[in-house]
Amino acid sequence: MAIFCIPFAQATDVNELPDDFYSAQPSVQLFKAYAEFKMANYDTAQRMWMSIDGSARAEARFNLGILYDDGLGVEADLEQALAYYREAALAGSRSASYRLGLLYLRDPRMATDIDEARYWLYRAALAGDTDAAALLQGMNEHSTQDDGMQKAEALLLDGESDQAVAVLTQLTEQGDAAAMNRLAWIYESGVHVEKDLGRAAELFLQAAQLGDAGSQYALGVMLMTGVGLDKDSDQAKHWLKQAAAQGHVSAKRALREMR
């Protein structure tokens, strides 16, 4: 087996990265950072990942999340890890979406949040992660959802996104809040459909008004961050409180962070 080594130029300062790192392609920058990580040079790997932008930014942010998740070279900080994982997932990292799904589903450091777990696992599955798809399939087999939602989710996992969207749209028109929520996820993520944050916001609002906690949380986040809707902290708190009152774990966490 041949081993290919990419030489590093000497840096002039311990806190500087080599010049050839900055001039390298993003994929090579990831390789160099990972090499440092494997050699337990966590500080250097962290600074490299922090410097990576463009097409490799999502994967770099995922790797930063791992450092804080596992306490490698930094003090373990689950909240910081979650922030990096979310940034990576929203930027297109399938690995980060899957990791978030697992954290919300079964990590002992966190209260289980099935809705949040499903959201991230579906993002990973729709992006082609077979482990996420298998995990969702198992969750669906024990689900109490009605046949319409089961059919739509089975179609999504099989890659039949057009048919799934058609089924979810029909259920939405019938006033099904769960279908509104799932359809909003699809438009928010832009996986297999054209991304449409405005449409996602409309659907989240419809479902939130019908009492769907996951949609109330999503709407609160949109209003809090200004992504998909204009920022409105009062309305954000309103919807987050509605979700938290129903036991939504992430909504409770968001309210604590806002304070």
The answer to whether the beta carbons of residues 80 and 67 sit under 8 Å apart is no
CA–CA separation, 11 and 13 (whole Å): 6
Residue whose structure tokens are 């990590």: 107
CA–CA separation, 189 and 212 (whole Å): 19
Q: Which two tokens stand for residue 199?
A: 């449409």
Residue among 83, 136, 82, 113 at smallest CA distance from 246 = 113
Helix (H, G, I), strand (E, B) or coil at 217: helix
- Cβ-count burial of 149 within 10 angstroms (0-12 exposed, 13-18 middle, 19+ buried)? buried
| Angle, CA 221 vertex, CA 251 and CA 133 arms, to 5° | 80
CA–CA separation, 243 and 96 (whole Å): 25
Distances (CA, A) of 214 to 48, 73, 234, 240: 36, 35, 18, 10
Q: Which residues of 50-71 are buried (b: 16+ CB within 10 A; e: fewer)?
A: eebeeebbbbbbbbbbbbbbee
CB under 8 Å to 158, separation ≥6 — which residues?
A: none
Going residue by residue through the chain, which has 259 residues, state the pLDDT in tens, using 9 for 90 and above. 333 333 333 333 335 787 888 888 888 898 889 889 989 999 999 999 999 998 899 999 999 999 999 999 999 999 999 999 989 998 889 999 999 999 998 888 888 888 788 888 888 888 888 888 888 877 766 554 557 777 777 777 666 778 888 989 999 999 999 889 888 988 887 766 788 999 999 999 999 999 999 899 889 988 988 888 999 999 999 999 999 998 887 788 778 877 7
CA–CA separation, 224 and 102 (whole Å): 25
Residue among 58, 83, 53 at smallest CA distance from 68 = 83
Q: How many CB atoms neighbour CB 117 within 10 A?
A: 21
CA–CA separation, 60 and 56 (whole Å): 6
Residue among 251, 256, 255, 231 at smallest CA distance from 116 = 251
How confident is the model over 168-204, as pLDDT tens digits?
999 999 999 988 988 898 888 776 678 899 999 999 9
Say what the pTM is: 0.64
- Which amino acid, residue 109? R
The predicted structure's pLDDT at residue 114:
82
The predicted structure's pLDDT at residue 239:
95
Residue whose structure tokens are 């922090």: 50
Distances (CA, A) of 57 to 23, 36, 79: 15, 17, 20
